[in-house]
Amino acid sequence: MEPLPSKNGKAATELCNQVANTHGSYVGQQSNPYQRLEFVGDVVLGLVVSDYLYEMCPHIDSDDLTALRSANVSNEKLPCMSVDLSLYRFLRHNSPSLDQAFTYQVTMEEAEENEEKGSILKARLVLADMVESIAAAVYRDCNSNLKSD
């Protein structure tokens, strides 16, 4: 499996390349390694998006800001981000059904057209979880500093 590409000349750490991208189906895994990171990543993404919306949309009230944040940090939006950034290619797993579902997710926009809705839903959740775990790994790697350099 190739490592995640670097951005801005900074190589992805082992936390990103190993833990954040390892699904529970991967050989030798006792538990789902990215689940703890996913827990933190959910909060990190919410905070980053909240901060961005607060700064960029000063005339929008809190109810609308909440709706915007929810729309952008959701199990609907995050799988699309994973596909757009091709992050799914870096997931370490041993699940042929996930590979099939990822292929479908990449080629089709609406899972409702597929008879395998359960597999597609599972793949979408795995893709969302992966984005959250990578966000947490990056957050942890930069010593919990969300400000850009």
Fold of 36-141: Ribonuclease iii, N-terminal Endonuclease Domain; Chain A (1.10.1520)
Verdict on whether the full-model pTM lies above 0.85: no
pLDDT digits (tens, 9 = 90+) for 16-45: 555 555 656 665 655 556 777 788 888 989
Average pLDDT, the chain: 73
* Range list of H helices, 57-116: 62-72, 77-84, 96-107
Q: Is 10 helix (H, G, I), strand (E, B) or coil?
A: strand
pLDDT at residue 125, as a whole number:
80
Provide the pLDDT confidence category of residue 124 given band limits of 50, 70 and 90.
Answer: confident
Asked whether the predicted pLDDT for residue 54 surpasses 90, the reply is yes
One-letter identity of residue 137 = A
Q: Are 42 and 137 in contact (CB under 8 A)?
A: no
pLDDT at residue 51, as a whole number:
93
User: 65 versus 93: which is more confidently predicted?
Assistant: 65
Q: Are 76 and 84 in contact (CB under 8 A)?
A: no
User: 143 versus 4: which is more confidently predicted?
Assistant: 143
Residue matched to tokens 């789902």:
32
Q: How far apart are CA 62 and CA 55, in angstroms?
A: 13
Asked whether the predicted pLDDT for residue 130 surpasses 50, the reply is yes
**Residue 20: count of CB within 10 angstroms of its CB:** 32
One-letter identity of residue 44 = V
